[in-house]
Every structure is written in C-alpha cells, then in structure tokens.
Amino acid sequence: MDCVFCKIIKGEIPSDKVYEDDDFLVIRDINPVAPVHLLVLYKKHVGKIHQLDEEDKKKVSKVFDVIAKVVEKEGILESGYRVVINNGEQAGQEIDHIHFHVIGGRKLGKIA
C-alpha cells in the first residue's frame, strides 16, 4: 500500500505530532490554511466514510474526544474552530485515508 498517511502513522515519514492514542494520530498539516491546521488521522487504513465497518464506527466516534483535547492544547477551544472531513475526489479528498481537518486560530469565512 502506498498511502502517505499510513507511512506517517508507521513513522516512515516524519511529521509534527500533536497527539497520539491507540486509534488516532494528530499532526500539523504541512500546507496549513490557518494558524492552526491539524489532521486527525484514523490509524487503520479506511479510504472513505462508507467503508467503515461497525467496529471502525465505534472507534471513529471517539474522534470528538480527541478533537476536544487538541483544540484545548492548541488554544482555540474558546475562540472557535472548524472540523472538516472530505469524502471522495469531488469533495476535495486528496488522500484516500479517512482524516479530519481541524482548522482555527483566525476568523474563518462562511462555507458556501
């Protein structure tokens, strides 16, 4: 498998880690769109939301606890932040591995 996120999770590619547990790795995006732009990576390789099995769904539901921890650590809990998941090419998903963008640190524009 030639998945860049899987390689990051395995430590084969360096990253700026913010948080890690058994199911998730949170890293800083290498091309940030805001002062805080984190990627929350599900450690198991699953390409799209609809490919999650029941066990994956239980684990991925913990993502909100992970996000709560990292936004507090990054100092954007009170000011606000955006959580985005792109699912599929037309939605803007560039890497076929489920991940959440956590974006904040400045006023964000409205989404069309």
Domain boundaries of the chain, sorted by first residue = 4-104
Contact assessment for residue 69 and residue 19, using Cβ atoms and an 8 Å cutoff: yes
- What does the pLDDT read at residue 11? 96
Active-site residue, from 37, 45, 97, 99: 99
Computed over every residue of the chain, the mean pLDDT equals 96
List residues bridging with 20 in a β-sheet. 25
In a 10 Å sphere around its CB, with 0-12 CB exposed, 13-18 middle and 19+ buried, how is residue 89 labelled? exposed
- Asked whether the predicted pLDDT for residue 1 surpasses 80, the reply is no
CA-atom Rg of the chain in angstroms:
14
Q: How confident is the model at residue 111 (pLDDT cuts 50, 70, 90)?
A: confident
Using CA atoms in the order 8, 14, 15, 17, what is the torsion angle rounded to 10 degrees? Answer: 90
- CATH fold of 4-104, please? HIT family, subunit A (3.30.428)
Q: Which pair of tokens denotes residue 54?
A: 């029941």
What pTM does this model have? Answer: 0.95
- pLDDT per position as a tens digit, 50-105: 999 999 999 999 999 999 999 999 999 999 999 999 999 999 999 999 999 999 99
99 is catalytic: yes
In terms of phi and psi (left: phi > 0; alpha: psi -120 to 50; beta: otherwise), the region of 77 is alpha
